[in-house]
Amino acid sequence: MGKVIKVGMADLNVCVSPDSITTLGLGSCVGIAIRDPVTKIGGLAHVMLPDSTTIRNNTNIPKFADTGIEELVKQVVARGANRSRLVAKIAGGAQMFAFQSTNEMVRVGERNVAASKKKLAELKIPVVAQDTGKNYGRTVIFYPETGDFVIRAVGKPESVI
Amino acid sequence: MGEITLEKMSDQYFDVLKELGNIGAGNATTALAQMMQCKVDMSVPQVRLLEFKEMGEMIGGEEIIMAGIYLAIEGDVTGSIMFLLEKQAARHLVNKLMGMQIEGEEFSEMEFSALKEVGNIITGAYLNSLSSLTNLVIYPSVPDLTVDMAGAILSVPAIQFGKLGDKMLLIQTQFFDDMVLDGYFILVPNLDSYGRILSALGIG
> Contact B13/B171 with Cβ under 8 angstroms?
no
Q: How far apart are alpha carbons B89 and B68 in whole angstroms? A: 12
B39 to A3, B31, B109: CA distances (angstroms): 48, 11, 27
> Domains of chain B, with CATH numbers?
6-199 (3.40.1550.10)
pLDDT at B19 over 80: no
Q: How far apart are alpha carbons B91 and B112 in whole angstroms? A: 10
> Contact B188/B81 with Cβ under 8 angstroms?
yes
Q: What are phi and psi of B71, to 5 degrees?
A: -130, 145
Which DSSP string do the residues of B76-143 spell out, in sequence order?
Answer: SS-EEEEEEEEHHHHHHHHHHHHT-----SSPPHHHHHHHHHHHHHHHHHHHHHHHHHHT--EEE---
Per the document, the length of chain B is: 204
pLDDT 10s per residue in chain A (161 long)?
Answer: 689 999 999 999 999 989 999 999 999 999 999 999 999 999 999 999 999 888 777 788 999 999 999 999 999 999 999 999 999 999 999 999 876 545 555 688 999 999 999 999 999 999 999 999 999 999 999 999 999 999 999 988 999 99
Nearest CA in chain A to B64: A25
> Which of A:137-156 have CB within 8 Å of B?
137-139, 154-155
Work out whether strand B138-140 and strand B41-42 pair parallel, antiparallel, or are unpaired: unpaired
How many folded domains does chain A comprise?
Answer: 1
Of B72, B73, B159, the CB nearest to A49: B159
Name the residues of A annotated as catalytic.
29
Per the document, the length of chain A is: 161
- Which domain range does residue A146 map to? 4-160
Nearest CA in chain B to A53: B163
> Which of A:103-122 have CB within 8 Å of B?
105, 108
Q: What ipTM was predicted for this assembly?
A: 0.90
Of A27, A146, A28, A7, whose CA–CA distance to A71 is shortest? Answer: A7
- In three-state secondary structure terms, B65 is strand
> Closest approach of chain B CAs to the CA of A82, in angstroms?
30
pLDDT at B107 over 50: yes
CATH code of the domain covering residue A154: 3.30.1330.200
